[in-house]
Amino acid sequence: MSVKIGNIDLGKFPLLLAPMEDVSDPPFRYVCKQNGVDMMYTEFISSEGLIRDAAKSRQKLDIFEYERPIGIQIFGSNIESMREATRIATLANPDLIDINYGCPVKNVACRGAGASLLQDIDKMTAMTKAVVESTHLPVTVKTRLGWDDNTKNVDQVAERLQDVGIQALTIHGRTRSQMYKGQADWSMIRDIKRNPRIGIPIFGNGDVDSIEKAANWRLEYEVDGIMIGRAAIGYPWIFREIKHFFETGETLAGPTIAERVDVCLTHLNKSIEWKGEKTGIFEMRRHYSNYFKGIPNFKEFRMKLVSSENVADIRSVLDEITETFEAEMA
Ligand SMILES: Cc1cc2nc3c(=O)[nH]c(=O)nc-3n(C[C@H](O)[C@H](O)[C@H](O)COP(=O)(O)O)c2cc1C
pLDDT tens, position by position, 14-59: 999 999 999 999 999 999 999 999 999 999 999 999 999 999 999 9
Q: Are residues 70 and 189 in the same domain?
A: yes
Boundary of a domain, candidates 248, 279, 303:
248
pLDDT digits (tens, 9 = 90+) for 177-199: 999 999 999 999 999 999 999 99
Residue 278 has pLDDT above 90, yes or no: yes
Residue 103 shares a structural domain with residue 13: yes
Q: 303 and 194 in one domain?
A: no
Give the Cα separation of 231 and 214 in Å (integer).
12
The pLDDT of residue 293 is above 70: yes
Q: Tell how far the Cα of 232 is from the centroid of ligand 1, in angstroms.
A: 11
Tell which of 213, 231, 248 closes a domain. Answer: 248
Closest residue by CA, ligand 1 atom 28:
20
The answer to pTM > 0.95 is yes
Give the pLDDT confidence score for residue 180 in this predicted structure: 94
Round the CA-based radius of gyration of the chain to a whole number and report it: 20
Query: What single DSSP character describes residue 198?
Result: -
Same domain, 105 and 232: yes
Chain mean pLDDT for the chain: 96
197-235 pLDDT, tens digit per residue, is 999 999 999 999 999 999 999 999 999 999 999 999 999
Identify the residue whose C-alpha is closest to ligand 1 atom 3. Answer: 20
Work out the percent of the chain whose per-residue pLDDT is above 90.
Answer: 95
- Best of 21, 41, 47, 106 for a ligand 1 pocket test (most atoms within 8 Å of beta carbon): 21
Strand-pairing partners, residue 96, are 71
pLDDT in tens, 133-174: 999 999 999 999 999 999 999 999 999 999 999 999 999 999
Distances (CA, A) of 50 to 53, 83, 158, 307, 314: 5, 11, 27, 34, 35
Average pLDDT over residues 244-269: 97
Q: Measured from the CA of 170, which atom of ligand 1 is nearest?
A: 19
User: If you ran DSSP here, which 8-state letter would residue 150 be given?
Assistant: T
> Does 261 share its domain with 241?
no
Domain count for the chain? 2
Residue 231 sits in the same domain as residue 261: no
State whether the beta carbon of 18 lies less than 6 angstroms from ligand 1: yes
Q: What is the CATH number of the domain that holds 149?
A: 3.20.20.70
Spell out the alpha helix ranges (H) of the chain: 26-34, 47-52, 55-59, 79-91, 106-109, 121-133, 154-163, 187-194, 211-221, 237-248, 257-275, 277-284, 288-291, 299-307, 311-329
* pLDDT at residue 239, as a whole number: 98
Domain around 323: 257-329
Residues 10 and 64 in one domain: yes
10/62 same-domain check: yes
Residues 71 and 115 in one domain: yes
Same domain, residue pair 59 and 150: yes
Using the 3D structure, point to which of 221, 248, 275 is the last residue of a domain.
248
State the binding site: 73, 142, 172, 229-230
* Interval 101-115: pLDDT, tens: 999 988 887 788 999
Q: Is the CB of 84 under 6 A from ligand 1?
A: no
pLDDT above 70 coverage of the chain, percent? 99
